[in-house]
Amino acid sequence: MIPRLLHALTDAASSRRGKFVTIAFWLVAVGLLSVFAPRLADVYDNNTQQIPSSDASQVAQRLLLKEFPDSRGAPAIIVFTNPNGLNDADRASARNVSDWLTSSAKPAGVGQVISIFTVPQAAPQLLSKDGTTMTMIVQLTTEPADANGISSVITAIRAEVAAQTGGALRGYVTGPAGIVADTITVFTGTDVTLLLATVGLVLILLLVVYRSPILPLLPLVAVGLVAQVADALLALAARGGLFAVSQQASSIATVLLFGAGTDYTIFIVSRFREELRRTEDKHLAMRTTMRAVGEAITSSAGTVILSLLTLLLATIGLYSSLGPTLAISVAVMLVAGLTLVPALLTWLGRVAFWPFIPRYQPEVAAADAQPGEVARLRGFWGRLGAWTARHRVVALVGSVLLLAILALGNLGIARSYNFLTSFRDQTDATTGYAVLQDHFPAGSLAPTTVLIQLRGTDANAYNHLAEIDAITAELARQPHVAEVQGPTRPLGQPPSVSPQALQASIATLPAALKQAIRSGQTPQVGGAPGGVTDPQLLAAIGAYAASAQYVSANNSTVRLSVAFDDDPYALPAIDRIATLRGAVDQAIRDSGLGAGETTSATAYIAGQTAQLADTQADDQRDTRLIVPATLALVGIVLILLLRSLIAPLYLLAAVTLNFFAAIGVCSFMFQRVQGQDGIYYAIPLYTFIFLVALGADYTIFLMSRVRE
DSSP class per residue in 3-67: HHHHHHHHHHHTSTTHHHHHHHHHHHHHHHHHHHSPPGGGG---------TTSHHHHHHHHHHHH
Confidence of residue 368 (pLDDT cuts 50, 70, 90): low
**Is 266 found in the same domain as 164?**
no
pLDDT (tens digit per residue) in 636-672: 888 887 788 888 888 888 888 999 999 999 999 888 8
pLDDT tens-digit map of 100-144 = 999 998 998 898 898 999 988 888 889 998 999 999 999 998 876
Residues 6+ apart with CB under 8 A from 425: none
| Phi, psi dihedrals of residue 564, rounded to the nearest 5° | -80, 165
pLDDT interval class at 529 (50, 70, 90)? very low
The whole-number pLDDT of residue 576 equals: 95
Domain C-terminal end among 576, 606, 636: 606
User: Average model confidence (pLDDT) for the chain?
Assistant: 87
Domain boundary residue, one of 550, 582, 606: 606
DSSP per-residue string spanning 170-181? EEEEEHHHHHHH
- Position 192 in a domain: no
Predicted confidence at residue 370, as pLDDT, reads 54
592 lies in the same domain as 625: no
528: pLDDT confidence band, cut at 50, 70 and 90? very low
User: What pLDDT does residue 514 have?
Assistant: 84
386 is a domain residue? no
- How many domains, the chain? 4
**410 close to 664: Cβ distance less than 8 angstroms:** yes
Q: Is the model's pLDDT at 555 over the cut of 90?
A: yes
Clarify whether residues 469 and 488 are in a common domain: yes
Q: Is residue 442 part of a domain?
A: no
**Is 190 part of any domain?**
no
User: Do 365 and 244 reside in the same domain of the chain?
Assistant: yes
Q: Are residues 502 and 633 in the same domain?
A: no
Q: Is the pTM of this model over 0.75?
A: yes
The pLDDT of residue 473 is 95
Shared domain check, 347 and 248: yes
Residue 454 belongs to domain spanning:
447-522+532-606
* Closest to 339 in 3D by CA, of 695, 700, 24, 679: 24
* 59 and 81, same domain (yes or no): no
Residue 175 within a domain: yes
Rounded mean pLDDT, 370-392: 75
Looking at the predicted structure, is the pLDDT value of residue 527 above 50?
no
Q: Are residues 464 and 538 in the same domain?
A: yes
Got the DSSP string for 419-455?
SGGG-SS--HHHHHHHHHHHHS-GGGGSPEEEEEEEE
Measured between alpha carbons, how far is 175 from 76 in angstroms, rounded to an integer?
5
Question: Residue 203 falls within a domain, yes or no?
Answer: no
d(CA 104, CA 475): 40
Instruction: Identify whether residues 416 and 545 lie together within a single domain.
Output: no
Whichever domain contains 164, its CATH number is 3.30.70.1430
- More reliable by pLDDT, 584 or 303: 584
Mean pLDDT of all residues in 410-423: 80
Same domain, 137 and 38: no
Whether residue 541 is contained in a domain is answered as yes
Say if residue 487 is in the same domain as residue 563: yes
419 with 517, same domain: the answer is no
Most confident of 180-194, 515-529, 540-554, 608-622: 608-622
Answer whether residue 385 is part of any domain: no
